[in-house]
Structure 1
């Protein structure tokens, strides 16, 4: 009989860390930053900029009338549930799979908390070059993107060049 390996569910602690950092940063933003006013961090590249998003990435469906808040909450819970199931089936030592899953879960749930508490997501990191601005984002958004990139790398969707092996 084959012994089962412990699952990667303890990696949910990374999800909890993402949620904690995300919510802490948003509490700081609400207490410290003025709304819709750029506060330069690095001139010509990075501002703190408190804004709100009722939609999804790049304000997708932001003006949909309110139903989208519940749609994105249900979607985030459904995706997080699938990812927790995947994490439970991942060997604990497979950090290349487990960490990205945990990051996406933490980021998705961090933004769900905002939707429940405020009816929108709080964004505050603004990057730009000249007059070209990237849409404002937050720590939860960053975790989702990093997790998605990590999953793509781990699955082989993005080829990674390896060093050639030297044969004796």
Structure 2
């Protein structure tokens, strides 16, 4: 298996379960809307639900339009990053690492949208 694909599989197979486990823990242990500082003034744990895109964009759209938008954009992101990852030379492992992290995050958020209809967010910088 090419190195870039091994990196992707390792990150996906460890990152996706960790993503989902941390989100379930946040849902179980933190009331919705609560905030706990990790590094005061810099990094907080928060429990918010995001029906929109990054930073709450599109949160006012109807559920049908939002669903179509997210399915289309997630498919586009997965396709483009997957293609870029596939085309990388094996010695470009830092780029493979970055693409793999973004792909894993996109898949984790897609799981949230399918399971909950929204994304559980919990890191506030």
What CA distance in whole angstroms lies between the structure 1 residues aligned with 2:29 and 2:94? 36
TM-score normalized with structure 1 length: 0.65
What CA distance in whole angstroms lies between the structure 1 residues aligned with 2:40 and 2:88? 43
Residue in 2 aligned with 1:86?
84
* CA RMSD after TM alignment: 2.0
What CA distance in whole angstroms lies between the structure 1 residues aligned with 2:110 and 2:99? 17
From the CA coordinates, give the structure whose radius of gyration is larger.
1
Residue in 2 aligned with 1:139?
none
Give the Å deviation of 1:92.
2.4
Alpha-carbon contact 2:81-2:103 (below 8 Å) kept:
yes
Alpha-carbon contact 1:69-1:120 (below 8 Å) kept:
no
Alpha-carbon contact 1:49-1:123 (below 8 Å) kept:
yes
Alpha-carbon contact 2:26-2:47 (below 8 Å) kept:
yes
SS of the residue corresponding to residue 41 of structure 1 reads: strand
What CA distance in whole angstroms lies between the structure 2 residues aligned with 1:106 and 1:55? 19
The verdict on how the C-alpha distance between 1:35 and 1:95 changes in structure 2, with shifts beyond 3 A counting, is same
The verdict on how the C-alpha distance between 1:46 and 1:98 changes in structure 2, with shifts beyond 3 A counting, is closer
Alpha-carbon contact 2:3-2:93 (below 8 Å) kept:
no
Choose between structure 1 and 2: higher helix proportion.
2
Alpha-carbon contact 2:47-2:120 (below 8 Å) kept:
yes
Residue in 2 aligned with 1:32?
29
> How many residues are aligned here?
123
Higher RCO (CA 8 Å, separation ≥ 6 residues): 2
TM-score normalized with structure 2 length: 0.85
Q: After superposition, where does 1:94-113 map in structure 2 within 5 Å? A: 94-113=92-111
What CA distance in whole angstroms lies between the structure 1 residues aligned with 2:40 and 2:83? 44
Residue in 1 aligned with 2:18?
21
What CA distance in whole angstroms lies between the structure 2 residues aligned with 1:81 and 1:45? 34
Residue in 1 aligned with 2:60?
63
Alpha-carbon contact 1:77-1:109 (below 8 Å) kept:
no
Alpha-carbon contact 1:50-1:123 (below 8 Å) kept:
yes
